[in-house]
């Protein structure tokens, strides 16, 4: 039996994530920008009163440079956020859920995978790279993102008049 995956496009490439690790997929809302964010952090999504960091997955994987701006597929009209535990991933377009079948044996390896592709799968009629969410960031990157998220939370509390803004 094939695992169900969420298929999406990113900088002209097909990717997938295990559907079991995806909480929700949303159209791109307005994001809160913060001064001093690294290029691969697109901003924060206010979700239920909590600031959720949004990673620009194309930049994180090295598929798009910061100086490229927002030149996106379909003029950027259809970007999506893939919500996972503690983070949202900004992708060019989520295309849907599909069974992730074993890829043909001649499927090429990807030079840009940076160790975060667990395997290639056949989904939605194409061979796509199945990302391992646990390998998208290194431990020190996760820690820096945690610190940025905590700073965003404290800043929001300060503006809301909360006493726990220290």
The domain total for the chain is 1
pTM: 0.83
Residue 151 belongs to some domain of the structure: no
For residue 119, pLDDT over 50 is answered with: yes
Residue 96 belongs to some domain of the structure: yes
The CATH number for 7's domain is: 2.40.50.180
Residues contacting 8, CB < 8 A, separation 6+: 14, 15, 16, 17, 80, 82, 91, 92, 93, 94, 95
- pLDDT number for residue 82: 97
Residue 154 belongs to some domain of the structure: no
Residue 12 belongs to some domain of the structure: yes
Percent of the chain residues past pLDDT 90, beyond the cut: 38
Residue 161 belongs to some domain of the structure: no
Residue that the structure tokens 């667990």 belong to? 118
Domain membership of residue 40 as a residue range: 3-136
For residue 59, pLDDT over 50 is answered with: yes
Q: Please compute the mean of the pLDDT values over residues 41-57 and round it to a whole number.
A: 89
Residue 153 belongs to some domain of the structure: no
Q: How confident is the model at residue 157 (pLDDT cuts 50, 70, 90)?
A: confident
For residue 20, pLDDT over 90 is answered with: yes
Residue 13 belongs to some domain of the structure: yes
Higher-confidence position of 100 and 162: 100
| Alpha carbon distances (Å) from 79 to 54, 100, 115 | 13, 22, 25
Tens of pLDDT along 124-138? 889 999 999 999 988
Residue 47 belongs to some domain of the structure: yes
């Amino acid at each position: 039996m094939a695992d169900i995956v969420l298929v999406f496009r990113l900088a002209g490439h097909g990717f997938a994530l295990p559907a079991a690790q995806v909480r929700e997929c949303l159209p791109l809302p307005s994001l809160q920008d913060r001064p001093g964010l690294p290029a691969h952090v697109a901003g924060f999504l206010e979700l239920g009163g909590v600031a959720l960091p949004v990673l620009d997955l194309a930049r994180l994987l090295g598929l798009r440079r910061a100086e490229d701006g927002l030149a996106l597929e379909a003029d950027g009209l259809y970007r999506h956020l893939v919500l996972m535990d503690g983070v949202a991933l900004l992708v060019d377009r989520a295309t849907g859920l599909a069974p992730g079948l074993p890829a043909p044996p001649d499927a090429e390896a990807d030079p840009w995978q940076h160790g975060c592709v667990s395997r290639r799968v056949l989904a939605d009629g194409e061979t796509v790279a199945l990302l391992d969410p646990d390998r998208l960031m290194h431990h020190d990157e996760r820690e820096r993102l945690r610190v940025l998220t905590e700073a965003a939370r404290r800043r929001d509390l300060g503006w809301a008049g909360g006493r726990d803004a220290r």
